[in-house]
Chains A and B, each alone.
Chain A
Amino acid sequence: MAPESPAPRSSALAPSGASRPGGQEWAALAIFTAALALPFLTEDMLVSSIANQVLIGVMASLSVFIMLRMDLLSFATPAFMAIGGYTAVLLAMQGATNVLLLVAASFVVPALVAMPLGALVLRLRGTYFVLVTFVLTEILHLLLFMTPGLTGGSDGLAGFPAPTLFTMELADSRSVLVLAAAMALLGAIITVALISLCRQHFAAIEENEALAESLGLVVWRYKALGFVISAGIAGMAGFSLANMLLTVHPTSFGVQQAVDHLAFTVIGGRGSILGPVIGASTLVTASNFLGNQGQYAQGLFGLLLVIVALVARGGIVGAVAALFRRRRGR
């Protein structure tokens, strides 16, 4: 192999494999834009609490969804959520409460961490990738408990100042929800941009990575890009969670949460961006009504995971889309 051979054209991050956002992606963006209006429509505490949780769940699921585009099942979402959440809270405690800065930091810091990490873990595929991300989340979870000087250890960090926009303090529950909706919209725009830009590349990696590579696709470049952006979106979800709970605590960032996000994405449908949106919305809402603190929700998630794996590989969105196709075909 000649070391100086020029990279094939298709390997550049060029529009060759890109495509415009499709109907489902525009629909997802419309849903997120509409969600921005929600805080001004209702004062109900329960509704806004569920809406907050849904928006955070959707963001975390988008992070899982991006990795699934490349056939990689990641349990590392809570780890990146923790990095984003703790970063924002620590900044706010230092007096840097500008909301734009906090949002940017909660995206950028996890993304920066993901770069060297990705170089290590993205060499693994399939089962081994699942295991390594599982272990990463466990390690970060332990580290949070073991560094009380920085992260407050088992007490977590609470009582940090509210984010500010210029001179306005975003402390009331309406601003919390607006901020959550705005971050979710930002996360959705980034996700749509990424998967439209790299649609063919991701599809090639998902279908057959070795073949894609032998045809000249620089696979690691796309996998790294996906991993880094997925980490950034998870980080924003972490900040959103901290902003809703007014605290960051290690128990919010364990393997259990990774299972939930995975369930949202797969049950909603891993084939389209509407999947994580619909999955997180329905399952978070359902778990709010199942037993106190949703202790029976896990069983429902389990049952749905099994049903999806057995009879509806495309999840809710895939099943509905197939139904429509059958109707039209008739």
Chain B
Amino acid sequence: MHEFWSAAIIGVSLGAQYALLALGFTLIFGILGVINFAHGGFYALGGYVAYSAVSGLGLPYPLAVLAAVLVTAALGYVYELFVIERFVDDHLATMMLTLGLYLMISTGLLAVFGPQSPEFSFPVKGSYSIGALRIAKENLVVLAVCGCAIGAIYWLIYRTDLGRALRALADDRQVATTQGMRPRLLFPLAFGLATGLAGLTGALVTPILALSPSAGDPVLVTSFLTVILGGLGSIAGATIAALIVGFIEAYASVYLGGSAGALVLFIMVLVILLARPTGLFGRQIRGA
């Protein structure tokens, strides 16, 4: 029975990480209509910035995480402002631009840090045990930080003027613009916010999993799966779908083994794309 519960804890913890990634991804799609192929790149970059801050500058880990968020958010902001902004309505061009950025980030990391995974471990060690059940402390820390970040995003999007403006742009850009929202100001902000979330997740999670220049590949795939499942552009959908994906991965790895869980997810997503492209919880936001 404790196998079941430990899988549940892993599932929640994975789900919270995926939610942070998927929220960023879905914000960019919902507000700008852009598929961000570079999302995994910002995750890997966040991990490497945190690693360099800890091992190079000797910063304490929480400050290193903050540095990772700032660097990835700034890069996302600048890239949107100077590069993506001019082509924001051309889906082919924005895909090339984000895909190109991803390839450059991962090659840049490879050139600077080399192909080996650096020694980067989580500062909190040990585990709590309840009966036969053991809960790693690092998982709890990640879960808590992710939970706070998710709460902060919801607050930002649903309780502040900035959030209202962003939601208005996502709903109908033309009407929102005539009402005085300024896409040129808000699009880079939204993009930077989203890439900062990817950087945060990278800085939190790569010390537990693994850090490598190609660490972003599986992240991109997971973000795709999650946002399609939840409905492209839907914030609540992304959060719920992230938990579903986390649980399926955790339970499949315990009870099915191998890549069966991934296959189940992919086939679910394929069926959803074909039968209900707006996702489980989505609504029609943008014409496909």
Chain A interface residues (CB < 8 Å from chain B): 71, 73, 120-121, 123-132, 134-136, 138-139, 142-143, 145-146, 255, 259, 262, 266, 295-296, 298-306, 308-310, 313
Q: Which residues of A contact B262 (CB under 8 A)?
A: 142
Tell whether, in the assembled complex, residue B274 and residue A121 are in contact, meaning their CB atoms are under 8 Å apart.
yes
A143 contacts B100, CB within 8 Å? no
Per the 8 Å Cβ criterion, residues 234-288 of B in contact with A are 258-260, 262-263, 266-267, 269-270, 273-274, 277, 287-288
Asked whether B103 is an interface residue with its Cβ less than 8 Å from the other chain, the reply is yes
Q: Is the CB of A132 within 8 A of B91?
A: no
Assembled-state Cα–Cα distance A127/B176 (Å): 23
Within 8 Å by CB of B111, from A126, A299, A310, lies: A299
Establish whether residues A299 and B259, one from each chain, have CB atoms under 8 Å apart when the complex forms.
no
Is residue B156 within 8 Å, beta carbon to beta carbon, of the partner chain? no
Determine chain A's interface SS by DSSP, over half rule: helix
State how many residues of chain B have any CB contact under 8 Å with chain A. Answer: 41
The dominant DSSP class at the B interface is helix
Task: Say whether, besides A142-B262, A145-B259, A127 and B35 are in contact (CB < 8 Å).
Answer: yes
Pairwise interchain contact B110-A296, C-beta atoms closer than 8 A: yes
Instruction: Decide: B263 and A303 in contact? CB cutoff 8 A.
Output: no
**A-B interface pairs (CB < 8 A), number:** 112
Interface presence of B232 (CB below 8 A): yes
**A309 near B100: Cβ-Cβ < 8 Å:** yes
List of A residues within 8 angstroms of B146 by Cβ: none
> Do the beta carbons of A306 and B104 come within 8 Å of each other?
yes
Partner of B103 from the list A120, A121, A129, A259 (CB cut-off 8 Å) is A259
- Whether B96 lies near A308 (C-beta < 8 A) is yes
Q: A73 → chain B, closest Cβ, in Å?
A: 6
Known contacts A124-B277, A128-B288; A299/B107 CB under 8 A: yes
CB pair B96–A305 under 8 Å, yes or no, is yes
B95 contacts A131, C-beta separation under 8 Å: no
Report the bound CA distance from A313 to B93 in whole Å.
9
The 8 Å CB contact of A298, one of B29, B107, B115, B225, is B107
A120 CA to B267 CA in the complex, in Å? 14
Identify the interface centre among A135, A146, A255, A296: most chain B CB within 10 Å of its CB: A135
Contacts A127-B29, A135-B269, A146-B260 aside, 7 further interface pairs with beta carbons under 8 A come to A121-B274, A124-B288, A138-B221, A296-B107, A296-B111, A299-B107, A302-B100
